[in-house]
Chains A and B, each alone.
Chain A
Amino acid sequence: MTGHIGGLDVEKIRKDFPVLARTVGDRPLVYLDSAATSQKPQQVIDEVSDFYAHHNANAHRGLYMLGEEATELFEGARANLARFFGAPGPENIVFTRGTTESMNLVAQGWGRKFLHAGDEVLLTDMEHHSNIVPWQMTAAVTGATLRFIPLTDDGQLDLSDLGSLLTERTKILSVTGMSNALGTITPLRQLIDAAHAVGAVVAVDGAQLAPHHAIDVTALGCDFLTFSGHKMLGPTSSGGLYGTAEILDATDPMFGGGEMIHEVFHDHSTFKPVPYKFEAGTMQIAQQVGLGAAVDYLDAIGMDIVRAHEEEITGYALGRLIDAGATVFGPKDASIRGGAVSFWYKDVHPHDLATILNEEGVAIRAGHHCAQLVMRRFDTPATARASFYIYNTKEEVDVLVESLAKAEAIFI
């Protein structure tokens, strides 16, 4: 296999991911579902294992050495994440199970407190269900109205009518940085500036963007950023929410319980300061420690290199899929999109395609990708989706494309 893609030594990277050495039946695994969850490098696996083997205790509780070590590792991960995202400090990072929990925290902790009847929440038609359903639940309680930025035929945000969608009634714009179903990268700079100009808060769903792109929240100026650790080389149930000090302070906790309180009385309690007021009960300590190692791993590569690889392999995949007769959804220009490539191969239903590709060792996603608004917009119940990350090679794209012929032989 060839070595470098976009300046990244992919062969060297692959050696760090033990699962990539396995086979599916007698075929090498070709893992093309990183938009669902990424694989984990040995460095992350070792960090989690080392935590359990040598440092396991509850964080922020134990008055003994082990407890102090666990706390130090947990808080060290928070500091890593703050640095990784350009946050002012660790206190700007709230640990959560990932984007879904983070967006629910924003919709409940901030939304239920600050939204009222007549207020508007602006979303887009390319949002993942995790950035739609929490807002519907909040709208039902507060009387706020949801509005949606539509999509163009090539799967970008249609901002031609932004002026009538984004008004002084808009209290929050909650938008993805990169669509999981279309790959589209949204113009965050333009959206954040426009939202702030009308006094709206901006929450960015970073689940897909954060694994692939450098994000500097301070430069970007977003009020909230959600991220999922498991999509960026970290363990499942790792992730968090960035917020500015001001907005996190104003946001209510979503969960009450142990460790988030300052004092508890019969009729009320007082809460700890940010970020601890949001972290009730025993947290995902080992997982977040693992995520701390994951962002160290990404930092060591450099996020510009990570993005260059993504752009190159996505461009290659788009070209090969289209040449093979596939219909690709979303932008065809790799410079304005990420590596989640949704497509139909001729008339082969995505479920059938995924099953047939599995026989060739190729793992892709088939379904609505938790983005039914996108499916409806493009009038399809489902798509096949191949998605790429730092360990994927052009040869794997070739295996994907060559495997399409098997589907054709059976169905067409």
Chain B
Amino acid sequence: MALDDMYKEVILDHYKNPRNKRDLPGAELSCTRNNPLCGDEITVFVHEEGDTISDVAFMGAGCSISQSSASMMTEAVSGKKVDQAKALAADFRGMMAGEVEPDEDGLGDLVALKGVVKYPIRIKCAVLAWDVLQEALDSAGTASGSAPHAV
């Protein structure tokens, strides 16, 4: 059944037991954004050491897809170089746009979210955390990260 493609075990696991869902005091970078479709809001915190993401966490509330994607993202980019994390974000967006065949070695558990591509309106849920991460990383060098987007 199609639903099984979407609500895979690994997605439900990350939804019910989100990793790195916590505040990150002293984070150099942070960004909050919401999905105007549903009002779900995610904040991503990034702790940088040099050009490496030494810690990453998220907070917020949302559907299983947005929350599991955020949880898996934190695991995927933690310890990575900033450039690697940005490349991963690009790969993930490519997969969700149906443009890139997912590379399991690179994306790991995140490949589970590929099933969401069949539900176009939910793709925004899956990429929300990644958009927030990207914006947080891009805000490096500005005063205190970027402001939440108005809706």
The stretch that binds A, out of B2-10, B17-25, B75-83, is: B2-10
The stretch that binds A, out of B33-41, B46-54, B87-95, is: B33-41
Residues of chain B within 8 A (CB-CB) of A349 are 62-64
Contact of B39 among A25, A352, A372, A410 (CB under 8 A): A372
Rounded to whole angstroms, the CA-CA distance of A356 and B65 in the bound complex is 13
Rounded to whole angstroms, the CA-CA distance of A182 and B34 in the bound complex is 23
Residue of A nearest to B66 (CB): A351
Contact of A381 among B2, B7, B41, B119 (CB under 8 A): B41
Rounded to whole angstroms, the CA-CA distance of A193 and B3 in the bound complex is 53
Residue of B nearest to A349 (CB): B63
Find the residue from B6, B15, B63, B119 having the highest chain A CB count within 10 A.
Answer: B63
Contact of A382 among B6, B40, B122 (CB under 8 A): B40
The range of chain B's interface size is 20 to 34
- Over the window 95-110 of chain B, the binary record of Cβ atoms lying under 8 Å from chain A Cβ atoms (1 yes, 0 no) is 0000000000000000
Q: How many residues of A contact B (CB 8 A)?
A: 17
Contact of B64 among A352, A367, A372, A381 (CB under 8 A): A352
Say yes or no: A359-B64 contact (C-beta < 8 A), given A366-B38, A367-B37, A375-B39.
no
Residues of chain A within 8 A (CB-CB) of B38 are 350-351, 366-368, 381-382
Residue of B nearest to A412 (CB): B16
Q: Does A114 make an interface contact (CB < 8 A)?
A: no
Q: Does A411 make an interface contact (CB < 8 A)?
A: yes
Residue of B nearest to A356 (CB): B3
Contact B39 A382 (CB under 8 A): yes
Residues of chain A within 8 A (CB-CB) of B2 are 25, 359
Contact B12 A351 (CB under 8 A): no
Q: Does B61 make an interface contact (CB < 8 A)?
A: yes
Q: How far is the CB of B42 from chain A (nearest CB, A)?
A: 11
Rounded to whole angstroms, the CA-CA distance of A375 and B34 in the bound complex is 14
Rounded to whole angstroms, the CA-CA distance of A355 and B64 in the bound complex is 11
Rounded to whole angstroms, the CA-CA distance of A366 and B119 in the bound complex is 14
Rounded to whole angstroms, the CA-CA distance of A235 and B111 in the bound complex is 42
List the interface of chain B (C-beta within 8 A of A).
1-3, 6-7, 12, 15, 34, 37-41, 61-65, 119, 122, 125, 151
- Of the A-B pairs whose beta carbons lie under 8 Å apart in the complex, a sample of 12, sorted by A's number, is A25-B2, A352-B7, A352-B65, A355-B6, A355-B119, A355-B122, A356-B3, A372-B151, A381-B34, A382-B38, A382-B40, A411-B12
